[in-house]
C-alpha cells in the first residue's frame, strides 16, 4: 500500500514537471552546474595536491636535507669586498652529523650551475653535480644505459660521468654515448651511464630550489673536489669557496626524524653563526601539505556550494510559481480528502525529482573532468604553442584526481538543497484554505 502510494505520488510529480519542460530543465541545470563544480574543483585540487606530495615524497620521508646558503657579501673595514667568500657546509659538519646515533646514512654533493658540456660541435647547458653512489637511490634516478657513479670511481678519482636524459639527447643525437668523451668545464670525462627521464621537482619555499635532473651531468664527488677545487669564480668581482652544496641525511626510523632534525639544527647554528645554511624536512612538509590540501578542499567546496545554493534558489522559485498555478488543483485535492501531509509530500517529491535528476547528471558530467583537461591541454598546445612552452612543467602535467567522497558529498548535498528549498513552497501549499483555493481563478 505504501509503495503504491509512493509510486502514485512520483507519477503525479513527474507529470506536473513535464507540463513545464523548459522551467524544470533550468532548475535541473542549476543543480547540475553546482554538482559538477564540486567534483571538478575538488578533482583539480586533489591533482595539484598529489603532485606536490609526490615531489615531497621523492625527497624521502626519513631524510633531512641540509643545504648551503650564500650569505650577503659584506664589505671589509677598508670598504673592499672579500673576493672569495667561504660559506656553507664543510667536512666537519658532515662528521658531526654522522656522529648522531639515529643517523644511518649521509650523502654529500657539490653542484655547479650553468656549465657547458660539449661533444664535437654540440653543446648543452648543464648542471654539474659531484656526488656519491647513493645519490641515485635517494633521488629515484634510474639508468637507461650503463651504470651510475661507483665507490671505485670515488676512491681512484676517475674522470667518468653520467648524463641526464636531455643532456645525452642534446650531445648524442645518433651515436651511442657510452664510452664517449665529453668536455665539461674544460676537462674530459668518459660517459659511463645515462639516466632515464625524471620529472622535475618544484621549489619548496626559499630553501630548496626546483631541480631539473634531466639536464644534469654527474661525476664522482672526490674527482670534482680534486679537479675543480673548492674555489669557483661566480662573477667579475666575486667568487665563492664551498665544500658541499648539500648533505642529505637518512634517519633510521620515521619517529626519529623530528628529534634528529632538531639536533642537526642546533649543531649547525652553533658552528654557523652567519646562518649560511637551510634545512628541509620532507616529513614536516608532508604534514603541512596534508593540512593545506584539507583547507584547499574545504575552500573549493564552499565556492562550489554557492552554485548549489543558486540552484536551490532556482528550485524554490519554480516551486513557488507552481504552487500559485496549481492553487485550484490543491483546493480540489483537499476537498476530496487529501491531508496536509499529502500535499507536502507531493511538492517535496517534485523538488526531489528535480534535485536528484540534476545531481545524477552533474555526477555523470563530473567524471568527464580528465577528458576536459586533456582537451584544454591539447587546444592550448595546438593553437598557443608559445604560451604552452613557457608554462611550468607542473602546470602542463597536472592530472585531476576524482575523489570518491566529493562525488557522494556533491550528490547528497544536492538532495539536501532540493529538500531545504522545497519545504517552504510545500508548506505554503499545504496550509491553503480549501475553500479559498477552490475560488481561485
Tell me, yes or no, if the pTM score tops 0.85.
no
User: Which one of 4-18, 256-270, 297-311 scores highest in mean pLDDT?
Assistant: 256-270
* Rounded mean pLDDT, 322-350: 71
* Cα–Cα nearest to 99, from 285, 264, 301, 229: 264
Question: Residue 412, class by beta-carbon neighbours within 10 Å (0-12 exposed, 13-18 middle, 19+ buried)?
Answer: exposed
Cα distances from 157 to residues 91, 153, 225, 428, in angstroms, run 18, 6, 9, 89
Grade residue 206 by pLDDT with cuts at 50, 70 and 90: very low
Task: Kindly state the percentage of the chain with pLDDT values over 90.
Answer: 20
Name the H helices within 88-209. 91-98, 135-138, 151-156, 165-171
What nine digits make up the cell of 414? 544536492
The pLDDT of residue 178 is 94
Whether residue 414 contacts residue 354, with contact meaning beta carbons closer than 8 Å, is answered with no
- The least confident of 206-210, 237-241, 275-279, 315-319 is 206-210
115 Cβ partners below 8 Å, 6+ apart? Answer: 125, 126, 127, 128, 184, 185, 217
The pLDDT of residue 97 is 92
The pLDDT of residue 350 is 77
- The least confident of 30-34, 213-217, 224-228, 334-338 is 334-338
pLDDT at 241 over 60: yes
pLDDT at 76 over 50: no
Q: Regarding predicted confidence, which is higher, 124 or 288?
A: 124
If one counts every other C-beta atom within 10 angstroms of the C-beta of residue 28, the result is 24
pLDDT at 160 over 90: yes
Grade residue 60 by pLDDT with cuts at 50, 70 and 90: low
The pLDDT of residue 27 is 77
Grade residue 96 by pLDDT with cuts at 50, 70 and 90: very high
pLDDT at 107 over 70: yes
**Extents of the domains making up the chain:** 2-56+290-367+402-439, 63-252
Amino acid at each position: 500500500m505504501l509503495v503504491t502510494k509512493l509510486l502514485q505520488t512520483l507519477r503525479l510529480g513527474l507529470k506536473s514537471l513535464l507540463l513545464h519542460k523548459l522551467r524544470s530543465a533550468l532548475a535541473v541545470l542549476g543543480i547540475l552546474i553546482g554538482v559538477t563544480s564540486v567534483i571538478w574543483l575538488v578533482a583539480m585540487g586533489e591533482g595539484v595536491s598529489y603532485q606536490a606530495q609526490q615531489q615531497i615524497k621523492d625527497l624521502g620521508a626519513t631524510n633531512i636535507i641540509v643545504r648551503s646558503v650564500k650569505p650577503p657579501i659584506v664589505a671589509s673595514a677598508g670598504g673592499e669586498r672579500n673576493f672569495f667568500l667561504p660559506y656553507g657546509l664543510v667536512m666537519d659538519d658532515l662528521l658531526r652529523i654522522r656522529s648522531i646515533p639515529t643517523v644511518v646514512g649521509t650523502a654529500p654533493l657539490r653542484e655547479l650551475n650553468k656549465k657547458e658540456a660539449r661533444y664535437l660541435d654540440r653543446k648543452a647547458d648543464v648542471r654539474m653535480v659531484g656526488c656519491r653512489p647513493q645519490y641515485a637511490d635517494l633521488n629515484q634516478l634510474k639508468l637507461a644505459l650503463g651504470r651510475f657513479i661507483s665507490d671505485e670511481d670515488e676512491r681512484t678519482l676517475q674522470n667518468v660521468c653520467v648524463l641526464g636524459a636531455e643532456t645525452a639527447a642534446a650531445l648524442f643525437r645518433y651515436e651511442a654515448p657510452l664510452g664517449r668523451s665529453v668536455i665539461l668545464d674544460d676537462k674530459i670525462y668518459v660517459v659511463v651511464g645515462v639516466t632515464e627521464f625524471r620529472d622535475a621537482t618544484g621549489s619548496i619555499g626559499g630553501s630548496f630550489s626546483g631541480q631539473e635532473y634531466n639536464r644534469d651531468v654527474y661525476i664522482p664527488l672526490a674527482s670534482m673536489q680534486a679537479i675543480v677545487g673548492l674555489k669557483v669564480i661566480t662573477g667579475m668581482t666575486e667568487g665563492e669557496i664551498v665544500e658541499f652544496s648539500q648533505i642529505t641525511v637518512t634517519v633510521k626510523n620515521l619517529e626519529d626524524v623530528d628529534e634528529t632534525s632538531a639536533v642537526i639544527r642546533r649543531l649547525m647554528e652553533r658552528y654557523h653563526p652567519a646562518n649560511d645554511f637551510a634545512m628541509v624536512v620532507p616529513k614536516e612538509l608532508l604534514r603541512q601539505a596534508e593540512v593545506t590540501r584539507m583547507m584547499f578542499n574545504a575552500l573549493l567546496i564552499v565556492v562550489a556550494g554557492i552554485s548549489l545554493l543558486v540552484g536551490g534558489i532556482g528550485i524554490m522559485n519554480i516551486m513557488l510559481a507552481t504552487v500559485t498555478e496549481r492553487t485550484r488543483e490543491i483546493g480540489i485535492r483537499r476537498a476530496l480528502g487529501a491531508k496536509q501531509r499529502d500535499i507536502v509530500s507531493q511538492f517535496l517529491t517534485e523538488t526531489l525529482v528535480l534535485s536528484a535528476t540534476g545531481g545524477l547528471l552533474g555526477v555523470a558530467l563530473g567524471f568527464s573532468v580528465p577528458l576536459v583537461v586533456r582537451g584544454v591541454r591539447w587546444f592550448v598546445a595546438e593553437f598557443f604553442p608559445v604560451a604552452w612552452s613557457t608554462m611550468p612543467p607542473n602546470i602542463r602535467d597536472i592530472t585531476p584526481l576524482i575523489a570518491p567522497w566529493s562525488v557522494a558529498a556533491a550528490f547528497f548535498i544536492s538532495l539536501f538543497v532540493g529538500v531545504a528549498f522545497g519545504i517552504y513552497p510545500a508548506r505554503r501549499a499545504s496550509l491553503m484554505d480549501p475553500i479559498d483555493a477552490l475560488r481561485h481563478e
